[in-house]
Amino acid sequence: MNARVRKVREDLQRRVKIYRARRARAKSKATFIGVTGSSGKSTVTALLGHILAAHRPTYSRVLANTMNSLVSTLYKRMRQVGEVDYVVFEAGASGVDTLRPMAEMLRPHVAVVTMVRLEHFASFRTVENVAREKRALVEALRPDGLAVLNADDSHVAGMAAGAGCRVVTFGTAEMADYRVTDIHAAYPDRLTLSIHWRGGVVELKTLFPGEHLWLPTAAAVATALELGVPPDKVAAELATFQPLVNRCAVLVADGGPHFIVDAAKAPWHSINLALDMVAKATVGRKRIVLGQISDYSGSNRKYATAYQTAREIADQVIYTGDHAHRSGAGQADRDSGRFVELSTPKEVSDHIRRTAVPGELILVKSSSNLHLERVALAWTHDVKCWIPVCGKREGCATCGLYEVPFDQHGDHVRQGRRARRWQRLRRMFGGGPS
């Protein structure tokens, strides 16, 4: 098959999938909820889905937040799970006019917007362009729809103007419809908060390790309450929700360190939020591992500023990856061990293994390309995949091959495909499950 024929066939298949997705959306009687924002949308989607699932049949699509994922959700995934009352979809934006087509296909009944920050700088250039893109989800709402907006973020709160539907707000601001107070987290104490709303006050306990996670918590809780979930059920489900893998997830090694793994994203605006978790922790010894910051503009200044903040918080700061040399750490800090520069995740893992103190807190903060979650996983699993940068976008927990050397991943995947094919054949011809 030549390239031209292949391209025509692929385009036809894509058009058929989109047609089926639109048809499935039109036929569905579910309430569709779209969640977007520069940060926090994955946690909101997962947490809201967790709460709603205890109330009514719910399907949530988390992390996979592209147009292809939405098409798959509508025409394939929902058919597999059957009819549901709620569909919660995380909608991401990687550039101008990437979210609007998703919003128009999703046609949400509810739109949740967490915050607007300048990410994907090469595509957006300005925070106003980011806000304009996120607004598309609100603009896709029908007159009887609901927008749930962050009152503390002027770019998000501004989306209420001309929304053409009902709007409720959440935040610490006095005028917020869901006003958040009494925010507290100091690891090992997990996040607690109160939310004041028209139904009274809801006291909430979570398993989140940091105060900044009040925002996705409030967004999910406000949406659930607006959808009619009883407050006591919201509080009960929230108390059992585990943080998403690589998004401030806590891993406690038996007789070893306590890890907070925040290695999915590292935009500049999130660095101080992560460091603040460590600063407020009440444990004896603290260490910070910093990999790659997502924003490349002003890298020297950003890595140096992050180090100066981190060294005042932690007993040791470890930099790794291609930008580790940008720390600006002085020779005295290097000689004393206050600062350690290491080239690869494996070197970081070995260093921590040699020097770990039981009960110490170690923050692992990086964008996803380095897969620094392996540093923590190595305490509970036999990690054998230590290639510095594998090129895979999904985290190690999603990939599931971190106990297999990287050069054997292809064989492992092919063996799995053959095994699944053989199982299907056995079922087709009456062999039953193998």
Q: Is the pLDDT of residue 426 over 70?
A: no
Q: What distance in Å separates the CA atoms of residue 216 and residue 219, rounded to the nearest whole number?
A: 5
Per cent of the chain over pLDDT 70 is: 88
Q: How confident is the model at residue 418 (pLDDT cuts 50, 70, 90)?
A: low
Report, at the CATH architecture level, how domain 249-399 is classified: Alpha-Beta Complex (3.90)
**pLDDT for 218:** 97
Instruction: Write the pLDDT tens digit of every residue in 310-367.
Output: 999 999 999 999 899 999 999 999 999 999 999 999 999 999 999 999 999 999 999 8
Nearest to 378 by CA among 348, 342, 408: 348
Q: How high is the pLDDT of residue 326?
A: 92
Q: What SS3 state is found at 177?
A: coil
User: Where are the strands (E) in 19-165, listed by range?
Assistant: 31-36, 58-61, 86-90, 110-113, 146-150
Of these ranges, 51-60, 128-137, 151-160, 194-203, the one predicted with the greatest mean pLDDT is 194-203
For 52, list phi and psi in degrees, rounded to 5. -65, -35
Q: Which CATH number fits domain 3-240: 3.40.50.300, 3.40.50.720, 3.30.365.10, 3.40.1190.10?
A: 3.40.1190.10
**pLDDT for res 238:** 97
Average pLDDT, the chain: 86
What pLDDT score does 429 carry? 58
Strands 178-186 and 166-171: parallel
Q: What is the pLDDT of residues 355-408, one digit of tens each?
A: 999 999 999 999 888 999 999 999 999 888 888 888 887 788 888 888 788 878
Give the mean model confidence (pLDDT) for residues 159-164. 84
The band of 434, judged by pLDDT with boundaries at 50, 70 and 90, is very low
pLDDT on residue 431: 54
Share of the chain above pLDDT 90, in %: 52
Strand, helix or coil at 306? helix
pLDDT of residue 423 exceeding 70, the answer is no
Residues 6+ apart with CB under 8 A from 37: 44, 112, 113, 114, 115, 116, 134, 150, 156
Q: What are phi and psi of 27, to 5 degrees?
A: -85, -20
Boundaries of every domain in the chain? 3-240, 249-399, 404-434
pTM for the full predicted model: 0.86
pLDDT for residue 48: 96
Is pLDDT above 90 for 182? yes
